[in-house]
Amino acid sequence: MSSDILLSVVIPVYNECAAIGNVWCQLRDALSAIDGKVEVIVIDDGSTDGTWDAVIGFREEAAGVPLVRGLRFGRNFGKEAAMLAGLRLARGQAVVVMDGDLQHPPEMVPAMVELWRKGEVDIVEAVKRKRQPESGAERLAASVFYRLFHLSSGMDLRKATDFKLLDRRVVDQYVQFPEVGRFFRGLTAWLGVHQVGIEFDPPARRHGVRSWSLSRLFGMARIYIISFSSLPLRLVTWFGVIGLLFSFVLMLQTLWYHGTGAAEAGFPTVILLILGMGSMVLTGIGLIGEYIAEIYKEVKHRPPYVIVERLPDEESS
């Protein structure tokens, strides 16, 4: 798709009424430094706090510069779905994806565009110099997740963010992936395209509240690891093989004792073995179940989101 739009900025938002006005003001200033046609695409991921009305207001304020476009989901489908909807809608030769809570500073966008314009860069990624301020439990959970993800998929995403500029080629590839359970940061790294980083210190969230509860983060971590690695399944096999070798040795020992008449009632051993084996089998079945649940979700081919409202385009291009 070729269009005369140079840049699209995609912002997924969920109950960001308190922050989105400031994002819009700062973004509008930042985008005025860019020499080329720009569109801002806001995806309202089922907000219940008047975020969508604010987006309609931006469109009236902007009067076509930049172009303001938007979609609203009927319920909360999650940030990954919102980003996908925005990328599908974007028409720019480059697309920036950023959060709508000022934790991804809009003033960095012109520098990202400059880097992209310089040459053969497919992705410009804003990387965290340090992690955003967060509670002890969140920091621990994030560190465990990134270690597990690194261990299972080989990708180190500790400093990665969703704040990225993607070249049109990358956007076209990304939207063609058929999977529903997506991990934007993981998939863009997986593509193996030429990527450059630009460092920043994510500020603390000053407006609104973080949308992820610890249990929601846990659910996402589960999908991300499952969609990028089958290592947990292989671990089950390895445990099974180790268990088998162990049982074989135990069998030989038992037979030997039986033969020499030294067999004794090994009640604690039996109990321990039943407990150990039982829990290993259950864990294995549970892990396989997790993968089957994800496969089931994928084969149903349900759309990743449902749009209930869209801002009509001012112009068709």
Segment near ligand UDP (CB under 6 A); pick from 77-85, 171-179, 236-244, 300-308: 77-85
| 167 binds, options Mg ion, ligand UDP, none, Cβ within 5 to 8 A by partner type | none
| Ordered DSSP codes for the chain | ---SEEEEEEEEESS-HHHHHHHHHHHHHHHTTSSSEEEEEEEE-S-SSSHHHHHHHHHHHHTTSSEEEEEEESS---HHHHHHHHHHH--SSEEEE--SSSSS-GGGHHHHHHHHHHTT-SEEEEEESSPPP--HHHHHHHHHHHHHHHHHHS---TT--S-EEEEHHHHHHHHH---SS--HHHHHHHTT--EEEEEE-PPPP-SS--S--HHHHHHHHHHHHHHH--HHHHHHHHHHHHHHHHHHHHHHHHHHHHHHT-----HHHHHHHHHHHHHHHHHHHHHHHHHHHHHHHHHTT--S--EEEEPPPSS--
The one-letter amino acid at 27: L
- Residue numbers 38-57 binding ligand UDP by CB under 6 A: 45
Q: In this complex, which beta carbon is closest to ligand UDP, that of residue 45 or of residue 125?
A: 45
Give the one residue of 211, 281, 298, 314 binding ligand UDP; rule: CB under 6 A. 211
**184 binds ligand UDP per the rule CB under 6 A:** no
Closest distance to ligand UDP from the beta carbon of 154 (Å): 23
Segment near ligand UDP (CB under 6 A); pick from 11-19, 25-33, 115-123, 219-227: 11-19
Q: In this complex, which beta carbon is closest to ligand UDP, that of residue 144 or of residue 251?
A: 144
| 302 binds, options ligand UDP, Mg ion, none, Cβ within 5 to 8 A by partner type | none
Per-residue binder mask for ligand UDP (CB under 6 A), 97-116, x = binder: --xxx-x-------------
**103 binds Mg ion per the rule CB under 5 A:** yes
| 169 binds, options ligand UDP, Mg ion, none, Cβ within 5 to 8 A by partner type | none
Size of the site for ligand UDP (CB under 6 A): 16
**45 binds Mg ion per the rule CB under 5 A:** no
Binding residues (CB under 5 A) for Mg ion: these are 101, 103
Binding residues (CB under 6 A) for ligand UDP: these are 12-14, 16, 45, 76, 78-79, 82, 99-101, 103, 210-212
